[in-house]
Structure 1
Amino acid sequence: MPDEFTGEKTERRKRDQGSPESLKKYLKEIAKLPRISVQEERELGRRIREHGDTEALKKLVEANLRFVVSFAKRYRGCGLSFLDLINEGNVGLIEAAKRYDPSKNVKFITYAVWWIRQSIIHALSDQSGPFRLPQKQANLLYRIGKTQSALMSELQRRPSVEEIAEAMDVDPKDVNTLLQVSDENISLSAVIDEEHEFHLSDKLEQETIPSADAVLMREALRTQVRQALAELDEKERKVVLLRFGLTGEEPKTLKEIGEMMNLSRERIRQIEAQALKKLNRSAKCQQLQSYLN
């Protein structure tokens, strides 16, 4: 297991903190770790939740360490070395693995991304430089992440800003502002040297794991689509949710949806066409046209 997995600041880590060689070694180590299927992921989550199985925890976390590398790249130049960012992200990953509930039918990495983000943001809040976030705001952002994770498990979808704010009893504007800060307040002036690190981490992203940006973009688009679905009637909304995989499951075919709703394939196609026509006429949905197509 990589040393940085534990999140502990060991003496060895202090000595070679952020060095290209230690980073290169770490990336090589996690590149060798096996991946797991969705079924294995859920079984590991069940064992962790029901029995506190430490081996299952180790396996679930190690299978997702590559994703943390991808996500941590967003925050380079913000006050911590790249290796420290990865380490902080791993702390969040471990916490997510301990709390993951596979019965909610949410993929682990979708659930974990918020714990990873909040762990990194919390660490960066103590740093000086262009990113610095006041501790009060950092704590609120951490609470937002916890609330969103809890709501995601409860609702089996990504909650809206309004739902998060209501659960926390805070102003939706405050929630929205802090979420934008966590996404956008990244230093653009950092000089990236570390040739080996860039090469190896990019190679990891070329593998079959989802990139951090891809996961976040997909979730953001899904959230916007769900908000727009309020303009549809119940039958249209159900067809669109199932057709585009917005329920947390794989997208369904027209035939599969027809069997679920006791309607013909052609009737489902008509309902889908009518729903998409409504959405495409909506000003809210103009930016989502390419996603829906």
Structure 2
Amino acid sequence: MEQKAEDELWQQYRKTKDIKIRDTFIRQYAPLVKYVAGKVAVGMPSNVEFDDLVGFGTFGLLDAIEKFDPEKNVKFKTYAVVRIRGAIFDELRSTDWVPRSVRQQAREVEDAISTLEGKLGRPATDQEVASEMGINEEEFQHITMKISGASIISIHEVWYSGDENDKVSIADSIESPSSLNPEVIAERDEIKRVIVEAISELPENEKKILVLYYFEDLTLKEIGLVLGVTESRVSQLHTKAIMRLRARLKNSRKGIV
């Protein structure tokens, strides 16, 4: 479908909510759901079925179609990818598919990074984090591989402005904030500023991985080829980057409240 024709359809759908138009968009963007599900499936344990991820993602596509605003300077595909990925991760979290032991280890790594970087004012090295946790660096590397092997953590799990019911995501930054009061808007803007600043201060390889994965839309395997490292190493570095961002947000949250 040509862009001009699609733009006209979006305008029409916004006015009429015509089911036939909605079904046209569903058919057109169904392959996008499989693409995003395929990216999320990388590194998932064997008990997570690809078809289930596609099913979760379809709910995200439907949500995106209902909430998309063609007046904003954002392409639907860009908006939909965020919604689809978010729906998949929301469902995975709700089914609590990550083993409790792995979740606990992830929390311990995050807490150690938060404590260290709060003191140091800079990214902590692997050796420093391992020392803070009372383990050697080899054990630390093993833990991060275990965490990354069980979960590719989405950006949706990074941008929290409090608890699970009050979070800020890329999707929130695309949507109109008109329904929020000024205090909430100001707080969310501050959290986004903290995230951008935290990303800029990440070690170079971790920063590159976030940019290539979330914004250039490369797979972990493709990123590995770009950086000259293995796919599992990319997964590990991705997890470390997310842990640093969560830890930084946790520290900064104290100053925002």
Q: TM-score range by the shorter chain?
A: 0.3 to 0.5
Structure ID, larger Rg: 1
